[in-house]
């Protein structure tokens, strides 16, 4: 157990808070999706109410140690200020005189945002001097950036060496929900794993097989499993080198369900000709782009009496609307379920948010790669670095 933000005495102190504001921006630099910003508001409000001044730090994009104006956090500061109903000044840098000036001017209840951490290569290198310079801007440290907790960077793993530290409310929620799934899930425990490649989720699949009662596979990764059963998948995405591992996973599983029918298309693009076929009749010139209605019916039956459902990864080429019905249908099934439902992975989260179903899920993870590594049972540097309770 890590120390909670609730156990920190913050009155009259500067709280240095690592947040994950790596949000999508439009071509003209506006924030397209503010959900990651909104998710941190409870932590910020708790600190303000506790009498702290709040110094927020985040990365945005991959500037690779260079100052890139298009990756400035200025649009984020504007959205955050609007959400909090107060001015949120953006420091021109995250360390040095420019940052110190803004931080020194803060009074209790004030909030500021430091400029993009990754404008400095020292952030991703976990440079000790850079971590020390960041730590000098606060009296206590709070990590509320679960999405960056799997990175051993200066702002996640370095700063806690210099300051009393704790997990923020969002971090706590993530650790509790994902920890419950690994340690004491209500049963039957059903996992739905999709996405493009087996290789990116091999560790998760191996970890989940030891824990779940039923595993449902969809998306591009299902093709490798179908191939392992001797089926042809046409021009579909396939990791031929992982066919033996897929066969072994099937052998180890208590119960593993694969698609029985699929939507195939002559090209993976909007407007392509598409048709529904059984998995033993995929045309040589076609690619599998979604799961079919019989598969959905079988998956729905497996989900109907679940106590816990974990969903990570889409069922088809979700970014093309014509190939997204399987993913949408899974989202609706989970929204109607009485089980504890935990959603992780970018496209799964996008699906439930686009359909307006996020509020009907037990937990929607902000983690992405961090949630995958947590579910694999790996230690997250940004969590390990925090003070124990």
Which residues form the catalytic set? 36, 197, 346, 369
Report the Cα–Cα distance between both ends of the chain, in Å, rounded: 6
- Greatest distance between any 2 Cα atoms in the chain: 69
Task: Please choose, from the candidates 20, 39, 5, 2, the residue with its C-alpha nearest in 3D space to the C-alpha of residue 141.
Answer: 5
Handedness of CA 34, 36, 41, 44 (dihedral sign): negative
Strands 363-364 and 256-257, by their bridges, are unpaired
What length does the chain have?
389
Distance, CA of 386 to CA of 371 (rounded, Å): 18
């Amino acid at each position: 157990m890590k120390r909670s933000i609730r156990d920190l005495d913050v009155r009259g102190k500067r709280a240095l808070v690592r947040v994950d504001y790596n949000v999508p921006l439009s071509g003209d630099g506006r924030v397209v999706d503010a959900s990651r910003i909104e998710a941190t508001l409870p932590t910020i409000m708790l600190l303000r109410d506790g009498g702290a001044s709040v110094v927020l730090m985040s990365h945005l994009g991959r500037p690779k140690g260079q100052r890139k104006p298009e990756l400035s956090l200025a649009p984020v500061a504007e959205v955050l200020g609007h959400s909090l109903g107060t001015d949120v000044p953006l420091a021109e840098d995250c360390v040095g005189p420019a940052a110190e000036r803004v931080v020194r001017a803060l009074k209790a209840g004030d909030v500021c945002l430091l400029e993009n951490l990754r404008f400095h290569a020292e952030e991703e290198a976990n440079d000790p001097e850079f971590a020390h310079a960041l730590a000098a801007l606060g009296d206590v440290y709070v990590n509320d950036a679960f999405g960056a907790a799997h990175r051993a960077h200066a702002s996640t793993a370095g700063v806690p060496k210099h300051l009393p530290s704790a997990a923020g409310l969002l971090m706590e929620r993530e650790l509790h929900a994902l920890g419950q799934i690994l340690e004491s899930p209500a049963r039957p425990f059903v996992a739905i794993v999709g996405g493009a490649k087996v290789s990116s989720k091999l560790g998760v699949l191996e970890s989940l097989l030891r824990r779940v009662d039923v595993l449902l596979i969809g998306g591009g990764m299902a093709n490798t499993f179908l191939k392992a059963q001797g089926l042809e998948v046409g021009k579909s995405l396939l990791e031929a080198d992982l066919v033996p591992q897929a066969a072994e996973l099937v052998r180890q599983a208590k119960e593993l369900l694969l698609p029985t029918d699929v939507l195939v298309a002559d090209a993976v693009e909007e407007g392509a000709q598409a048709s529904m076929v059984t998995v033993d009749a995929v045309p040589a010139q076609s690619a599998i782009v979604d799961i079919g209605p019989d598969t959905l019916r079988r998956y729905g039956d497996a989900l109907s009496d679940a106590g816990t459902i974990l969903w990570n990864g889409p069922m088809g080429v979700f970014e093309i609307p014509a190939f997204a019905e399987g993913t949408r249908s899974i989202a609706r099934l989970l929204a109607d379920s009485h089980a504890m439902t935990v959603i992780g992975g970018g496209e799964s989260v996008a699906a439930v948010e686009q359909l307006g179903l996020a509020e009907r899920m037990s937990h929607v993870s902000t983690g992405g790669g961090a949630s995958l590594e947590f579910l694999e049972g790996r230690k997250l540097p940004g969590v390990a670095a925090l003070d124990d309770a």
